[in-house]
Structure 1
Amino acid sequence: MTDVMAKWAGKTVVVTGGLGFLGSHFTEELLAAGAEVVSLHRNDSFGRLQQLRRVPGAERLRPLRVDLLDENELRAAFRFCAPRVDAVFHCAALDGNSEFKVKNSARILDLNLRYTSNLLNCARDCGVGDVVLISSAEIYCTDSPAPITEEDDFRRTMRYSTNGYFLSKVFGEVLAELFRAQFEMNVFLVRPTNVYGPRDGFHGPVNRVIPSMLARIAAGEEIEIWGDGSQVRSFVYVTDMVRATLEMVAADRYRTFNIGSTESVAIVELARTLAEMLGEPERIHLRPDKPAGPSARRLDVGRMTEVISFVPRPLREGLAETVRWYQERQLATSGLAGRV
């Protein structure tokens, strides 16, 4: 364990969405670092609580079922968990693929803003030391091949959009900065690029791009890509994203920072790579009539690389780990695990 990560030992940390994709990994890493972790969750549809009960440090895990929309219930959870909460990692959010976001913009904006507002008010009243909001690289509006810095955000160009997810992240950050200024709260804004890896959801309309592609390839279905597939994105493996965030917050050098990799890939090439890894033929259907988003989104991760003690893994290595986990999971759920 690095000296920076050792700073979490003995701390009491609340993780919202603690059984979700990001939240479960934050919970596991914090437990490994010696923290007392209070995991707030609404449900456990993936059975992750039992998984977390088997990780090192699980005796310091306190899971609580809490509805973040109920501010009184949230305050009660904070009062119950410890005399003082040292940090909160706010991972809970409604997310999804492009089609899901288009069809559910009002719902996403409404829920995500209320989650964030309730969390900030509760953290303020309970005197929480550090509040960490997991935002998104989607807040950046620029369409440029140059790496995007933290200053290229809504403070430079504020625009209207019907994308409720984008708006929820922008206004969530605006609200956080106002809380930071008015109430002198120590708020960190984390802007990761596309996060992928084990424990991501692989079924339903809320899937992100990589799990959605894997599920379609494995089922022998076409991968539908909006646009011409040339749009370039960067990705970061989930445990690298979590560890980088924990080190950045512990170092307390920057309050707003990008998290990601310097590597990037065209979406159509990503689909081809995943098909190759699964040993399946390419079945790709391009939809140039659909909105594809910015042609390129690469983050400037200079602040991150200046602070963290490791190098994020290459995309192909991370994809191989994700494919391996996916195949093992599919084998286990098919009832074939353990058969000769």
Structure 2
Amino acid sequence: MTPDYWADRTVMVTGGLGFVGSHVVEELLGRGARVLCLYRTDRPEVRAELPATEALSTVCVDILDYDALLAAAETVPHVDAVINCATLDGNMEFLLEHSGRMFDENVRMVSNVLQMARHCKTQDVVLISSAEIYSYESEEPMREEDDHRRHMEFSPNGYRMSKMFTEIAADLHREQFGMRIYTPRPTNVYGPRDDFGTTTNHVIPNMLMKLASGEDVEIWGDGSQTRTFIHVNDLVRAILCMVQSAEHKTLNIGTPESISIRDLAHLLAAATGRTNGVRFDLDKPVGAARRALDLERFHSVVDFTPRSLKSGIADTVQWYQKNLQRVR
């Protein structure tokens, strides 16, 4: 049997107690890696869900502090790979009020991770990007080539602009320093341990919180606009496949299964046992009618079939209901 690519490698995961980061940590440990999990905010409830093993080391560090980040890296003999899951995000109100801060902190985190990786001669660097980098105006499935090299546009959204910087920084560091840097671009991510706080901008947690509290889900427009989603476990597996294959430095990550926002709300209502709970505000803006990714590269790289949205929703609702008091 061929050994797993990640077995016996030491991998630093920044934001390792966050939504995506904790699943990266869990998957890597399951594959025999040694994981250096960095976090800024402790989440004991997430720690409790991670495997208890000597292969996992956790260090509280703010990666905005480069010296602290480098000191954390030097607690292990060598960092073979780093997967940056640390990011500052929030709902639309937070975006509008803190856009400058969001851009600044996300840019500095990426810059520090790249500088640390150069210093430590780290072989593989993953900077999780986003499908947000693509133009909002295109309704065709967006290919990896349809990025800042072809269409660069300003946005008052500091999170979106910081992801564009991530991509540009990756390009420049690959060219000048010959670094192996991967920038996966996921569509909307959902699943257990998502942010169910009041400042979340993720549509599925927002809807779940409304339904669980007995409130109606408000949909802007008629809900016919379509979106695609990827379960967090499938995102993590795809990222690891991407690095192992080393075939593509950028990769769209999603599924071909699109769903209207209206049908998504009804699917979540059914999964939570609600017979109604969806209403529409036809006077509100609806955004792009369709946002989808071209997945040709994705299907050539991954070695698994992502789960269906219905299956992933059931998994997420089960976790949410089990942890309802805590996430509230």
Confirm or deny a common fold (TM above 0.5). yes
- Structure 2, unaligned runs of 5 or more: none
Q: Is the 8 A contact 1:21 1:200 kept in 2?
A: yes
CA contact (8 A) 1:100 1:206 kept: no
User: Please, which of 40, 44, 49 is the counterpart of residue 42 of structure 1?
Assistant: 40
> What whole-Å deviation, never above 9, does each CA across 1:210-240 have from its counterpart, x for those lacking one?
1111011110123233444222110001111
Equivalence for 2:141: 147
2:61 aligns with 66
CA distance in 1, matches of 2:327, 2:156: 38
CA 180–290 in structure 1, closer or farther in 2 if over 3 Å, else same: farther
Which residue does 2:176 correspond to in 1? 182
Residue aligning to 1:316: 310
Q: Is the 8 A contact 2:252 2:297 kept in 1?
A: yes
**Partners of 2:261 and 2:24 in 1: CA distance:** 27
SS at match of 2:35: strand
1:209 and 2:207 aligned: no
Q: Separation in 2 of the partners of 1:285 and 1:104? A: 30
Runs of 4+ in structure 1 deviating by more than 4 angstroms, as ranges, are: 287-291, 331-334
**Alpha-carbon shift at residue 124 of structure 1 (Å):** 1.0
**Residue among 222, 245, 255 paired with 1:251:** 245
User: Is it true that 1:238 corresponds to 2:220 in the alignment?
Assistant: no
Find the counterpart in structure 2 of residue 22 from structure 1.
20
C-alpha distance after superposition, 1:75-126 (max 9, x if no partner): 111112x222110000000122333323321221111111111111111111
| RMSD, aligned α-carbons | 1.9
The alignment's TM-score, normalised by the length of structure 2, stands at 0.94
* Corresponding letter in the other structure for 1:247: C
Match of 1:90 in 2: 84
CA contact (8 A) 1:8 1:35 kept: yes
1:37 partner letter:
V
Give, in whole Å, the separation in 1 of the partners of 2:93 and 2:113.
28
**Per-residue deviation, 1:257:** 0.6
Partner of 1:337: none
**1:236 counterpart letter in structure 2:** I
- Structure 1, 262-271 or 203-212: larger mean CA deviation: 203-212
Number of aligned residue pairs: give it: 328
Distance 1:212 1:157 in 2: 31
Label 1:179 to 1:333 Cα distance change in 2 as closer, same or farther (>3 A).
Answer: closer
Secondary structure at the counterpart of residue 151 of structure 2: coil
Given the superposition, is the C-alpha separation of residues 227 and 119 from structure 1 closer, same or farther in structure 2, using an over 3 Å criterion?
farther
Amino acid in the other structure paired with 1:68: I
Deviation of the 1:164 alpha carbon: 0.7
Give the counterpart letter for 1:117 in structure 2: S
| Deviation, structure 1 residue 286 | 3.7
Structure 2 match to 1:160:
154
Structure-2 change in CA distance of 1:106 and 1:223 (3 Å)? farther
- Relative distance call for 1:93 and 1:323 in structure 2 (3 A) is same
Q: How does 1:100-111 map to 2 (within 5 A)?
A: 100-111=94-105
